[in-house]
Chains A and B, each alone.
Chain A
Amino acid sequence: MQFSEQIAQYLLSGFCTGSIYALIGFGFAIIYNSTSIINFAQGEFVMLGGMLSFFFQTTLKLPLAVAIILAIIVATASGALFERLAIRPLKNATPLSLVIITIGGSILIRGLTMLIWGKDTHSLPSFSGTEPISLAGATILPQHLWIFGITLLTITANKVFFNYTITGKAMRACASNRKAASLVGIDVKRMVLFSFVISSAMGSMAGIIIAPLTMTAYDVGIMLGLKGFCAAIIGGMSSGFGTVLGGLLLGILESLGAGLISSGYKDAIAFIILLLILFVRPQGLFKKADTERV
């Protein structure tokens, strides 16, 4: 009984961090699909979400809900700004130099945050109290429910947007063939901007909902970003169900590994899983292998 309770607890917390990884992974996939850029600055928008909500809530003494909305708006605006200033001016850049630019951008954002809010770790209050709820042998915090709810909502909204709105469909057209998309009158540049807007919004959201559980600091973006990237890779860089499953798988295995093997090696476990998956299925778990055209 004791053991199964423990397992239930690990599964629960794994499911919870997994949702976060999935949200971040979505951001990677959306940008990748519309620009073929791996945006290494993605993790910084996650960090910005948490840090900005802390700033609005604690320093400016705004109500939590207002602080969160403002934080998402500011983080999204900085994502758009990043695209306008660093990505759009580049016309014939190689994928590699684009990667370096996003790394430069992430260093810049991290540096600015450190300068403004210092190196301290900050905490954000839970959205609705910390009274634990008992469920199937595991203890669940209200914040966990918030995380599941918001993740589910975001992913559904995402699905609806990409499948049923004209802008979403246009973005998917850009992902499959940019030239053809521009020929039928789609403003490709605008779609690229949108993809940065959507992923920084989703990233900051992930950073905000996890902050009450794990605290936040100027440098949390690095690891969270990499794990999100892991989730997207496992899911085959699709902005669909694959990434969600990738994130959940990663979160659950990591949490089980940390609990049953060693918590010090928690992050190593995530990357060992990733390597194993890549060795066995180089194209991601949930994607058919492409035939390469030469």
Chain B
Amino acid sequence: MKREIVKFLIFASLVMVSPLFFKGGYLLNVLVFVGIHTMLAVGLNLLLGFAGQISLGQAAFFGLGAYISGILTTAHSVNPWLAMALAALTVGILAFFIGFPILKLKGHYLAMATLGLGIIAYIVFNEAVELTGGPSGLSGIPNLSLGSIVFDSDIKNYYLIWSFTLITILLSLNLAHSRIGRALRAIHDSEVAATVMGVNARLLKVQIFALSAFISTIAGSLYAHTMTFVSPASFGFNFSIELVTMVIIGGLGSIYGSFLGAAILTLLPEVLRAFQDYDIIVYGLILILITMFMPSGLIRGVPSAFMFLLSKIKRARIADA
């Protein structure tokens, strides 16, 4: 446990000082996105990596957060913080109740049902024009503010988003090492065995589903207030898939892995921009290659590849001598 605290403190201080290296500018903006995506990936990882339940509709909760915050603050001039809290609570409760019928499903059926939810939400964002502004989106969403500080620049947003992200990471680490975390892993390995041991598997799965929806909704609200503009394109099926990919290539069940996955998938398109139209092909290729050669994720795959190389070198040296 002590090691975990030290690890977290190192991570947090790295996050806090890194803006000093890229003062302002474009990259800082990208790092704000890394923060939002990390929150989403960590939330999904609780469900996918710990409880072993897939969700292909996570973008729906993200979108609901963004739209509820956006609509409440623009059309009804609700205080942004209040709007964010309302959004997170409503969606969290909603997810709790949808969770019961949905998480009764297993495997591909669960994947399909959550995917369906995501697509339904996406279509509603597009079609409920009076409420959401339809495909052209919703603009003029106010920035968040704290006293006299208005979060309206990249650097302020960076610290705002990453504070939330760090809190999410800390809470998730805590959860993972608690009784609940162990119960979740038991469900992951065998639901029947976990139930026999006295874990209320059904309730726990639903609770973790609601928690991951809650986290995604907060990420959505933060996104709306930092971008000040939302449109349906950001909350489609592709984004749900991208989130699952972040969790898997980072490493299932590893909180820092989710950060790694989020960082890579967010930075990759920026790097690949140099390839212009070829970027989507390279993206697909990288996805295939990582899954093929590091099936347990980069967080475990990279160190073991390194060790493998090291032992090869050592052996070569011994052979030379």
Contact = CB atoms under 8 A, between A and B. Distances in A.
Contacts of B109: 233, 278, 282-283
A144 interface: no
A282 B245 CA distance: 26
Contacts of B237: 222, 226
Interface string A261-281: 010110110011011001100
A99 B54 CA distance: 11
B260 to A, nearest CB: 16
Contact of B248 (A32, A96, A233): A96
Given A268-B119, A271-B119, A279-B101, A233 B112 contact: yes
B172 to A, nearest CB: 20
Contacts of A152: none
A114 B54 contact: no
A111 B281 contact: yes
Given A115-B281, A226-B119, A108 B113 contact: no
Nearest to B107: A95
B117 interface: yes
B59 interface: no
B19 interface: no
A100 B252 CA distance: 13
B98 to A, nearest CB: 9
A104 B288 contact: yes
A275 B117 contact: yes
Given A100-B244, A108-B281, A268 B104 contact: no
Contacts, number: 113
Interface of A: 32, 38, 86, 89-90, 92-97, 99-101, 103-108, 110-112, 114-115, 222, 226, 229-230, 233, 237, 262, 264-265, 267-268, 271-272, 274-275, 278-279, 282-283, 294
Interface of B: 54, 101-102, 104-109, 111-113, 115-117, 119-120, 123-124, 126-127, 190, 192, 237, 241, 244-245, 248-249, 252, 277-278, 280-281, 283-285, 287-288, 291-292, 295
Given A86-B292, A106-B284, A262-B127, 7 more contacts: A107-B280, A110-B284, A272-B120, A274-B112, A279-B102, A279-B104, A294-B192
15 contacts: A86-B288, A86-B292, A95-B107, A100-B287, A101-B287, A101-B292, A110-B284, A111-B280, A111-B284, A262-B127, A264-B126, A265-B127, A274-B113, A275-B117, A279-B104
